[in-house]
Amino acid sequence: MSKKLLEVNDLKVNFKTYAGIVQAVRGVSFDLYEGETLAIVGESGSGKSVTSNALMKLIPQPPGIYAGGEILFEGKDIVPLSEKEMSKVRGNDIAMIFQDPMTALNPTMRVGQQIMEVILKHKKVSKQEAKERAIELLRQVGIPMPERRFRQYPHEFSGGMRQRVVIAIALAADPKLLIADEPTTALDVTIQAQILELMKEIQKERNTSIIFITHDLGVVANVADRVAVMYAGQIVEYGTVNEIFYNPRHPYTWGLLGSMPDLNNDAQEDLRTIPGSPPNLLNPPVGDAFAPRNEYALAIDYEKEPPMFKVSDTHYAKTWLLHPSAPKIEIPDAIQTRINGYLKEAERSGK
């Protein structure tokens, strides 16, 4: 049994604005084990990026407020840490890979220098050693001719190569936890596939834990061990990757899966959509935040917020539909057919 690296309990993050207090993250709890990848999926405004930034304590205060909850990294709560203490955790224990490699790198600094900077800050090594390490890191992330590339500037790299540099910087101080916030969204599919492969390789070699933030369910299926689906600042469904994709229980997850076109079945009908748009978190709705967009909403959804119902030991969903006295609602046909297709395909190709 691997060790628990991170435990987040009932985390709440608010932002003070002129219009009032926006409750961006409204009580998020999850845990993460060593060598495991957790994907956090959701749309813009669901709070997934705020959650990941909160783990690095990158929320500017003010306007941000940690309104409650704890973030236990190796058993120690990092929420009360001072900025000075936190700067030791950042890069060293937890590192982040950002979405846009062009803005994450300093355009006026040679790439090698940017990697060395991290090594020199966190490790007691000489400049020469740091340089050797930086070149070795560039080689590890698959950049050809690292000695030459070391002396180049970011603009001399392509998008995919830049993202490799960002990954090299994140790995420079051997972090235990990597947070990747939409690391492949700005890249072409072929380059995306290469970067995903690279991240999985690194994870295998170093037993790093990864939190992967994305809105792309295809990417989630590719990288994740477990998945948390976020909506309106809360986790609404939580389970292993197989449970989320083959036995989704929350209507929002159904909506997300249904709005992706299916390449195998030749569906001529319209894509399923989730009507409307997410709620304003200035005044979160009473009851289930998803109710106004949910075609299966029950009367109680508008009055009382559902708890997390247990589906299996590893699978939970926050919907009243799982209450024993709720009407029995099955996964919508279109999605079930698709899932059956996938499972059949998997059986045919030998598990």
193 forms part of the interface with another protein (CB under 8 A): yes
Contact status, residue 140 vs residue 183, Cβ threshold 8 Å: no
**Measured between alpha carbons, how far is residue 240 from residues 40, 86, 329 in Å?**
12, 31, 22
Length of the chain: 351
- Which C-beta is closer to another protein: that of 73 or that of 252? 252
**CA-wise closest residue to 216 among 225, 207, 227:** 227
Q: Least distance in Å: CB of 116 to another protein? A: 30
Helix axes 159-171, 127-140, angle to 10 degrees: 130
Positive or negative, the CA dihedral 207, 181, 169, 15 is: negative
The residue (of 93 and 182) whose beta carbon lies closer to another protein is 182
Pairing of strands 37-41, 226-231: parallel
Q: Is 218 in the site for another protein (CB under 8 A)?
A: yes
Candidates 9-17, 118-126, 143-151, 191-199 — which segment interacts with another protein by CB under 8 A?
191-199
What's the Cα-to-Cα distance from 192 to each of 85, 161, 224, 242, rounded to whole Å?
35, 11, 15, 22
Least distance (Å) from another protein to the CB of residue 245?
A: 5
Distance, in Å, from the CA atom of 175 to the CA atom of 90, rounded to the nearest integer, reads 9
Q: How many residues bind another protein (CB under 8 A)?
A: 47
CB 165 within 8 A of CB 115: yes
Minimum CB distance to another protein, residue 346 (Å): 4
The answer to whether 203 contacts another protein (rule: CB under 8 A) is: no
Q: Which x/- pattern over 119-158 shows residues binding another protein (rule: CB under 8 A)?
A: ----------------------------------------
Question: Which residues ranging from 260 to 279 are in contact with another protein (CB under 8 A)?
Answer: 260-261, 263, 266-267, 270-274, 277
Q: Is 192 in the site for another protein (CB under 8 A)?
A: yes
Cβ 271 to another protein shortest distance, Å:
4
CB neighbours of residue 66 within 10 Å: 18
Closer to another protein at the Cβ: 206 or 272?
Answer: 272
Instruction: Report the distance separating Cα 239 and Cα 313, nearest Å.
Output: 9
Site residues for another protein, 324-343, by CB under 8 A, read 342-343
Nearest to another protein of 134, 210 (CB atom) = 210
If one asks whether residue 165 binds another protein (CB under 8 A), the answer comes out as no
Of 97-105, 108-116, 258-266, 323-331, the segment contacting another protein by CB under 8 A is 258-266
Identify which range of 29-37, 87-95, 115-123, 238-246 contacts another protein by CB under 8 A. Answer: 238-246
For the record, the structure tokens of 277 come out as 């748009």
Instruction: For another protein, give the closer residue by CB, 202 or 257.
Output: 257
β partners of residue 211: 38, 179
Candidates 301, 299, 270; CA nearest to 287 is: 301
What does the binding site for another protein look like in residue numbers (CB under 8 A)?
43-44, 159, 188-194, 196-197, 215-222, 224, 241-242, 245-246, 255-261, 263, 266-267, 270-274, 277, 342-343, 345-346, 349, 351
